[in-house]
């Protein structure tokens, strides 16, 4: 196996960069954020199996275990948006862990209306599991307790209810498919909207970011590190939308 590469971005934050032949997203694990026996938050579990027949989810479980982290200890699964390469494995990940599955209200509505059709189009089965936590703008709160230190930004354009996550403490931004290194999320899928994407990019560009973790690693670097590098990436991609 071994199609994900583990990058320890902070003591309690791992990025699992997809390196297979076929498509899949990067996954992010935030360690020991929640109270109780399932303290981890998993962002974008990705595909179960992709178009190249790679076992993406099994690879994620393996690479997490190599870091001493178990899927069973995940208490919350956040999908930045409902596309299969980010959301498909949420059901199996939730079955393994009993985790809550979270998405924005806007994205969940879009998924019910249109998004499920994506899965058939891409030859996969839509997850049957229910979204059990609806993300809103502001500090992420689970069971009303708050205190995660993670802010949710609703950043539509690639998909109607895409979210980006920002941790102010160490200025880490998880941007899903809004921003990549040298690129932006495509807007030609149903629910895509270039004007919204432009506004979302400006909101993210206004944040103080030291490290940007994109939903896919397509440039020479897996993640974008350093304030200057992040700023110049925003400057460059502005020309694309």
In the bound state with Zn ion, the residue whose beta carbon lies nearer, of 33 and 60, is 60
Specify whether the CB–CB gap between 72 and 38 falls below 8 A: yes
Helix ranges restricted to H, 8-159: 56-66, 84-87, 90-97, 105-110, 116-121
In the bound state with Zn ion, the residue whose beta carbon lies nearer, of 25 and 142, is 25
| Minimum distance of Zn ion from residue 214's CB (angstroms) | 11
| Minimum distance of Zn ion from residue 236's CB (angstroms) | 20
Label residue 163 left, alpha or beta by phi (over 0 means left) and psi (-120 to 50 means alpha).
Answer: beta
In the bound state with Zn ion, the residue whose beta carbon lies nearer, of 1 and 52, is 52
Structure tokens at 210: 């030291």
What is the β-pairing status of strands 138-139 and 133-135?
Answer: unpaired
In the bound state with Zn ion, the residue whose beta carbon lies nearer, of 38 and 47, is 47
Residue nearest to Zn ion (CB): 83
| Minimum distance of Zn ion from residue 16's CB (angstroms) | 17
| Minimum distance of Zn ion from residue 67's CB (angstroms) | 26
Specify whether the CB–CB gap between 194 and 232 falls below 8 A: no
In the bound state with Zn ion, the residue whose beta carbon lies nearer, of 107 and 177, is 177
153 phi and psi, to 5 degrees? Answer: -120, 125
| Minimum distance of Zn ion from residue 55's CB (angstroms) | 21
**How does DSSP classify residue 115?**
I
Residues that bind Zn ion (CB under 5 A): 83, 177
């Amino acid at each position: 196996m071994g199609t994900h590469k583990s990058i320890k971005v902070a003591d309690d934050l791992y990025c699992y960069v997809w390196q297979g032949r076929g498509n899949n997203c990067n996954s992010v694990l935030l360690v020991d954020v929640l109270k109780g026996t399932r303290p981890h938050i998993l962002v974008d579990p990705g595909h179960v199996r992709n178009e190249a027949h790679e076992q993406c989810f099994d690879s994620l479980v393996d690479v997490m275990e190599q870091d001493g982290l178990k899927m069973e200890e995940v208490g919350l699964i956040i999908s930045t948006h409902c596309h299969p390469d980010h959301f498909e494995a949420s059901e199996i990940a939730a079955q393994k862990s009993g985790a809550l599955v979270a998405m924005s209200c806007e994205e969940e509505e879009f998924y019910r209306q249109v998004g499920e059709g994506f899965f058939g189009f891409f030859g996969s089965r839509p997850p049957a599991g229910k979204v059990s936590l609806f993300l809103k703008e502001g500090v992420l709160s689970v069971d009303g307790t708050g205190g995660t230190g993670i802010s949710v930004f609703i950043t539509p354009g690639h998909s109607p209810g895409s979210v980006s996550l920002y941790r102010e403490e160490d200025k880490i931004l998880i941007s899903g498919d809004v921003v990549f290194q040298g690129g932006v999320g495509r807007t030609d899928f149903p629910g895509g909207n270039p004007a919204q994407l432009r506004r979302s990019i400006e909101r993210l560009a206004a944040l103080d970011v030291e490290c940007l973790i994109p939903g896919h690693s397509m440039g020479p670097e897996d993640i974008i590190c350093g304030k200057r590098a992040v700023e110049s990436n925003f400057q460059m991609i502005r020309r694309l939308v």
